Every structure is written in C-alpha cells, then in structure tokens.
Amino acid sequence: MAASPDSGISRIGMGPNMSGAGKRNSETGAKKARVGRFWAIRGELSRRDYLLIAFGSFMLAMLGWWGLSVSGLVPRLFLPTPLDIAERLGHWYADGNLLADTQISVFRVTAGFLLSALMAVPLGLYIGTYRPVQAFFEPMVEFARYLPAVAFVPLVLLWVGIGEGAKITVIWIGTFFQMVLMVSENVRHVPAAQIEAAQTMGASRREIVSKVILKSALPDIVDTLRITLGWAWTYLVVAEMVAANSGLGYAILQAQRFLQTGKIFGGILVIGAIGLLMDQLFRLFHRRAFPWLHKR
Amino acid sequence: METPKIAVRDLEKVFFTKGREFAALQDINIDVRRNEFLALVGASGCGKSTLLRIIGGLEHPSSGQVLVDGEPVFGPGKDRVMVFQDYSLYPWLSVIENIRFCRELAAHTRINTISDSATAVDRSYALLELMGLEAVKDAHPNELSGGMRQRVAIARALMSRPDVLLMDEPFGALDAQTREVMHDLILHVFEIEKCTIVFVTHDVEEAIYLADRVVVLAPNPGHVDSIHEIDLPPPLERDQELKLSTDFVEQKRAILHRIRETTGVQRDLEKLDRLTKHLQETHA
C-alpha cells in the first residue's frame, strides 16, 4: 500500500500490514495535517488551546516586563517590577483607600454609563426607525460627538459644581453621543424582511418597534453597550484627574505628584482588571440572554 | 362575471434614483381569480417583485391601483401575507413561536375568546404537522436548513388563514432537490388551504408546475408580455415526472421563448460569437 504524506491520513492509518517506512510517512503526514489545522485560515481552536495561548501571552508580557525592569536597562523608577507594584497595591489596600477608591470609581462609571444607556437606547431606536426623528437628531449628534468631552470639564465644573454630578456628566458627554449613533446603526441593520413580514401579518407600527425591531437589534445593542462601557472608564479617569478628591483616577494623579510610579501602574492595572471583568460579565449576559446566537 | 380576488388596474411605478426617473412598471392590468395560483415570471429587472410588493401594500404605485375584493389597497394588511426569500424569520423565537407570531399582534387577538385561543393552538400544531416540522418545534431558525426555514416561513404566513398568499421567490435560495420537495408541499398546502396565491419566480419550470396561469413580464419598462393558461392535471395528481412530459416541455418552451424575446439574451449571444471568433483569430 502506497502511503505518501499527501494521501488520506485515516486510510493510511488503517492499513493492516504497515511497513516501517509507511508508518513514518504517515506520521509526518499526520503532523503536517495538525500544523495545517492549527494555522488554518479562520480555522477552529479548542477552548483549552485558546485559553492556554491567551494565558501564555499574559505571562510573556509579564516576563518581558520583569526582565526589562530587573535588568536595569530602564531605571526602576520609570518601570517598577511587578513585585514593586504588588507591594504598592498592598500598601494601598492596607491604608484602606484602595477599596474605597475602587468603589467610588465603579459607582461613577456605572451611574454615568447607565444614564447614557437609558437615554441612548430609546433615542437610537427611534432614530434608526423613523426618518424624521433621524433628520432631527442625527446631524446634531454627529456634530456633538466630535466635541471634545475632556474640554468640557471646566464648563461642567461651572455648571454642575464639583460633586458626583460633575464626574457623571463628563462620562455622559463622553459616551452618550457615540452610543446613540451606534444603537441607531444596530437598529438599521435589522433585516427589512423581518419588518415587512410583520407588516403583512397586520402588525401596527408600535408592535413592529417593540416586537420586531427592538427584539432583533437587542443582541447588537448589548454589544454596543459592552464596547461603550470601556470608553466610560476612559472618561472617568479624565474626570477624576481634573476634579475629584477620591477614586482611582484621583489616586493615580496623587501618585504622580509623589513620583510613586508603582502606584500609578497599580491604579492602571486595577482599572484594566475591572474593565476586563465587566466585559466578561457582559459576554456572559449575552450568552445567557441570547442563547440562539451561541448554538449552531 | 365574478369580481376577481385581486385586480391590478392601469398600474404604473416610477422610481427616482439620483435625480433620474426609472419606469419600473407601466400599464399593468392583471386579474387574479379567487383561489387561483398565479405565477409571475420574467427576466431580472422586469419589475415582478415590485408588482408583488405593491399588491402586498409594501410599496405604493405611482398611478393606478390594486383592488382586493373590489376594495383599493392602501398599505399592508393581514389578508395579504407575504413570504420572502430569506431572513424574514425571527431568530429569537423558536419554530412554534415563529408560527404563532401573529397571535402576538392586536390585529389577530381583538376577539380573543378562550375557544379562539384553543383553535389557534390547534392550528399551529396542525401546520407544524402539515409542514413536517414536529421534530424541530422548539429549535431556533439558525439551527435549521434553508428548506426547513422556508417551511416555517410558510407555516407562519398560513397561521392567520390569509385570503391571499404573496410569495417572493420563496425557493430561490434552495438547492434543486429541496426545491422539488417544497413544490409538492406547496401544492398540497394550496389544495388544503384554498387561498389565492401570487408567486414570483425566475424559474419557468417552477412556475408551470405550480401555477394555474403564468404571467410573463417584460422589462424596460416592466409590462405584461403574455399570459399563459397552464393545462396540467389537478395539483395533487402532479409529480416530478410530469416535468419531462411533452405537454409540459411544450409549455415551457413557449414561455421561455417569450422571456428570451423580451430580453437582451439574443444580443449577448451575438456578442459572444464575435468575441470567440476574435480570440480564435488572435490565437491562430
């Protein structure tokens, strides 16, 4: 039986009287096939392999960082070691401020984000559904989204004062306009056939909006919210750096004054970790709420 | 004479795109009889889908009108349910929920007595059985093949017992074998449900096999070229062999000739001939 590496692997493998050479050939063939599968364009990867590689990339980044700061190529002050940062975070936690800072920051982000979402989802739904509403709001929103949210901080302080309202307003300015446009885009992507089928079944306009358009666009809208939540964190830090006396952003700014680079890194990492956690929660919610999208 | 179920009168449709006028339909007059299966065929661009959408009320005519039971149509209505080629099912609903979708709508539940609801549940199960969907009753549309999805779409359309079923190339995205199965299924449904069907397709064989009459539309601008009475055994006595019979082939030939005559196919062939000659000469 001829067993070239190119012939079907399973057929070779099942040969009853395989010669030694045939076996070797089939092994290299199988290896080739494995490599081919691994690097397949838009290929499949088991969940275990995926997590392994993802974990590996984190470890690699950590190692590179560690090596760089320990080697002395970069001064420790500029690039503290992971251990320095862990130590800093420990102090921060022991002082009792880390939890409080995190809590207030999470509260501000959540409040600003929810306020944005509660306003942007209905508005986006109507902009994407009714042309006159689109004509009224969309050009305005397109303009507003290019207004630099950061530059609004002094104005916001004037308008709303320095209380919690100021931070929430900055987050709102930073996220609301983008969110409206993205939600309206999600709504416009609802297939026309879904809407028209409902129309010919006698659905009223209100029924089409609530029973077809909203339901159909909801998974995409949840994805939009997940993405905009990341931006909410960016604007939180901006707001806290300019006008706050608590929160993770404020702590980072304070650390800068005292050149505590370890704490700056720690603050950044904490925000990153919370962001990743919230993102994963959103993904979990997406899987639970829209199961039909995740089974195929 | 009995009033036609659907009467299309002096219908005209003009589209405006980028400042230009485009006459999609002109001088259309068609009567669809009660309980008739009418097929609209024609080359792409002849406006057959547009005509169907106007009958469905999804688009408005530029002039002329559509009458259903003598009453002019001003918009979509539950008496004229449309079946689309694809993407019209609700992916968040299961098969049975999709079929029962119309029961969620106020237009179908104004007189929602207990016996009414019970009848509806019975009907949804009867349709499930008729369409061969019992096994996938709780599946979601994206778990189904294209053919099964169209079965659900048809069952959903039939749920409210519409007088008129409008079908816009419903099997256009299916493979040939699935199509054949769907043809026999739809003939069966037509026999049981006794509704009026207007069916748009570019597949002449499909049109002849299914319809009582075939209307050939010609493009530039879309107009009725010819209407062909189809003379075939009654729906339930038809089978796939019929498509090979002399009678069937003759009718197919006649309609195909009409369609070719009305389009640029002939000219394209001449152009191809010239090109082939040119290539042969350059290679020689």
Question: B75-88: per-residue pLDDT in tens?
Answer: 998 899 999 988 89
Across the interface, do B105 and A204 touch by the CB < 8 Å criterion? yes
The alpha carbon of residue A169 is apart from the nearest alpha carbon of chain B, in Å, by 35
B97 touches chain A (CB under 8 A): no
B56 touches chain A (CB under 8 A): yes
Give whole-number Cα distances, B154 to A140, B99, B107, B131, B167, in Å: 43, 9, 19, 8, 9
Q: How many CA atoms lie within 13 A of A108 on its CB side?
A: 32
Per-residue pLDDT band at B269 (split at 50, 70, 90):
confident
ipTM: 0.89
The confidence score (pLDDT) of residue A10 equals 43
Give whole-number Cα distances, A212 to A125, A290, B80, B168, in Å: 12, 15, 19, 21
Beta-carbon contacts of residue B254 (< 8 Å; ≥ 6 apart): B228
The confidence score (pLDDT) of residue B111 equals 61
The confidence score (pLDDT) of residue A20 equals 55
Q: CB-CB: which of B80, B89, B91 is closest to A200?
A: B80
What percent of chain B is modeled with pLDDT above 70? 96
The confidence score (pLDDT) of residue A75 equals 84
Across the interface, do B87 and A194 touch by the CB < 8 Å criterion? yes
The confidence score (pLDDT) of residue A12 equals 43
Across the interface, do B140 and A193 touch by the CB < 8 Å criterion? no
Tokens 């009223």 correspond to: A204
Contacts of B141 in chain A (CB under 8 A): 292
The alpha carbon of residue A110 is apart from the nearest alpha carbon of chain B, in Å, by 28
Q: For an interface test with A, which of B80, B84, B99, B111 has the most A Cβ atoms less than 10 Å from its Cβ? A: B84
Select from B28, B35, B37 the least CA-distant residue to B66. B28
Tokens 């190339």 correspond to: B169
Tokens 């739904």 correspond to: A125
For residue A293, the 8-state DSSP code is G
* Residue B276 tokens, joined: 């082939």
A214, closest residue in chain B (CA to CA): B92
pLDDT in tens, B174-211: 898 989 999 999 998 898 888 999 999 999 999 999 99
The confidence score (pLDDT) of residue B261 equals 84
Q: Using an 8 Å CB-CB cutoff, list residues of chain A that contact chain B.
A: 191, 193-194, 196-204, 207, 211-212, 215-216, 218, 290, 292-293, 295-296
pTM above 0.90, yes or no: no
| Number of C-beta neighbours around residue B38 at 10 A | 23
Per run of 10 residues, the mean pLDDT along chain A (length 296 residues) is 43 46 72 84 90 94 88 84 88 88 94 96 97 96 89 87 88 94 97 95 94 96 95 90 85 89 91 93 94 81
B85, closest residue in chain A (CA to CA): A193
Query: What whole-number distance in Å separates Cα of residue A177 and Cα of residue A224?
Result: 12
Tokens 């446009």 correspond to: A181
A-B contacts at Cβ under 8 angstroms: 85
A208, closest residue in chain B (CA to CA): B105
Give whole-number Cα distances, B114 to A95, B111, B120, in Å: 67, 9, 10
The confidence score (pLDDT) of residue B266 equals 64
Query: What whole-number distance in Å separates Cα of residue B45 and Cα of residue B221?
Result: 9
Average confidence score pLDDT of chain B: 89
Across the interface, do B82 and A202 touch by the CB < 8 Å criterion? no
Give the DSSP per-residue string, B4-58: PSEEEEEEEEEEEETTEEEEEEEEEEEEE-TT-EEEEE-STTSSHHHHHHHHTTS
Cβ–Cβ under 8 Å, residues A270 and A250: no
Q: CB-CB: which of A193, A200, A290 is closest to B76?
A: A200
pLDDT in tens, A113-150: 999 999 999 999 999 999 999 999 999 999 998 988 88
Name residues 101-130 of chain B within 8 A of A (Cβ).
101-102, 104-108
